[in-house]
Amino acid sequence: MATYKEIRGTQIEAVATDPSNPVEGQVWYNTTSNVLKGSVLTSTGSWATSGALNTARNSLGGTGTQTAALAFGGQPPNTAVTELYNGSNWTEVNDLNTARNGPGGFGTSTSSLAYGGEGSSPNPKNETELWNGTNWTEVNNLNNSGKTIGRAGTDSTAGLAVSGIGPDNSSPVANVELWNGTNWTETTDVNTARDNLGGSGTSTAALAFGGTPPPKANTELWNGSNWTEVNDLNAARYSGASASQNSTSTFYAGGATPTFASNEIWNGTNWTEDGDLNSARANLAGAGTATAGIAFGGSGPTGATEEFTGAGAVQTRTFTDS
């Protein structure tokens, strides 16, 4: 059998920075950190600790990707603080106009929508704000006040606000509203009313899952007109972190009750457990995809941030003598 030396030779590329898109089996020497590195194909998902939020908080909103995320609102106390993530660290940017916890939100780090939540009074809010990459601007309100609302949408021009605690501040509602970039319009209700649920997808192909009361495993699929019940989560839970990108592939990490560290991956048909958070917590936010996700904040409160690499992804590893 041929050896690695016979096939590849003895030359290993020396680079000052790691390759941006390494292929499986690639090996290189990083001259900046003076370490030998290589890329491997992951067999299971895993979470890695990254830079913490500057303001520890729970019940916050989150949008964006693993390398460019936005965190806004939260508690305690109610805050308007907004932070931008660059793939390593969080930086404080301009605040929301209205401090709130439990907001819904969808979009990117440069184009996001934040809506609903709870302000200085316990009553749910209907205020909606648009983030343009620099500032938040008040835009047209939800038709129905709500908090701990589910979400779906990949940018600020189209998305869904799904279920949540209604105007009476006590009971979940089944209401769903559609955002068209200017206004909210009421559309078809979900089959199961709930609050503190997870959500992902777009305004025409979305997923709603989990929630309470009591803790739920129900998952529903939106086709642009109607909601259909599909296969449940393995563990009934609420107040977890979810990806926001699409309805055929997402994650749902953490949550309650009890306080979970476990993470579930949706493949378009079923949920599968894959890769626990390093820190079990609820009331956290999430963004990204099922193969490159991010979870941040949560009960404590905490500023903990973790990045998820899904199974089947190419991941960089450092080689040591041990």
Answer whether residue 60 shows pLDDT above 60. yes
Lowest mean pLDDT among 23-27, 97-101, 215-219, 318-322: 318-322
Q: Which two tokens stand for residue 218?
A: 């129900």
Q: What is the DSSP letter of 216?
A: B
Rg of the Cα trace of the chain?
20
Q: What is the DSSP letter of 297?
A: -
pLDDT tens-digit readout, 103-143: 999 999 999 999 999 988 788 999 999 999 999 999 999 99
Return the SS3 of 8: helix
| Choices 3.10.580.10, 3.30.410.40, 2.120.10.80, 2.160.10.10: CATH for 46-309 | 2.120.10.80
pLDDT class of 314 with cuts at 50, 70, 90:
low
Q: Which residue has the tokens 């450092």?
A: 318
Query: Do 245 and 154 contact (CB within 8 A), yes or no?
Result: yes
Answer whether residue 43 shows pLDDT above 60. no
Higher pLDDT, 225 or 1: 225
pLDDT tens-digit readout, 134-183: 999 999 999 999 989 999 998 899 999 999 998 888 899 999 999 999 99
pLDDT > 70 in the chain, percent: 93
Domain ranges of the chain: 4-41, 46-309
pLDDT tens-digit readout, 272-292: 999 999 999 999 999 999 999
pLDDT tens-digit readout, 203-257: 999 999 999 999 999 999 999 999 999 999 999 999 999 987 788 999 999 999 8
Answer whether residue 4 shows pLDDT above 60. no
Contacts 24+ apart (CB under 8 A), 128-131: 128/179, 128/184, 129/96, 129/97, 129/98, 130/156, 131/70, 131/72, 131/82, 131/107, 131/156
Q: Can you tell me the mean pLDDT for 292-297?
A: 96
Q: Which two tokens stand for residue 318?
A: 């450092």
Q: Can you tell me the mean pLDDT for 290-314?
A: 90
- Give the span between the Cα atoms of 146 and 142, in whole angstroms: 8
Q: Can you tell me the mean pLDDT for 254-266?
A: 95
Query: Do 153 and 159 contact (CB within 8 A), yes or no?
Result: yes
Picking from 317, 192, 304, 179, the residue whose alpha carbon sits closest to that of residue 253 is 304
Answer whether residue 28 shows pLDDT above 50. yes
| Mean pLDDT over each residue of the chain, to the nearest integer | 91
Host H or E run for residue 208:
strand 206-209
Output the CA torsion 267→201→132→110 (10° steps). 10
Inter-CA distances, 242 with 30, 34, 151, Å: 34, 36, 10
The DSSP result for 145-170, as a single string, is -BBS-EEEEEETTEEEEE--B-TTSS
Alpha helices in 125-170 (DSSP H): none
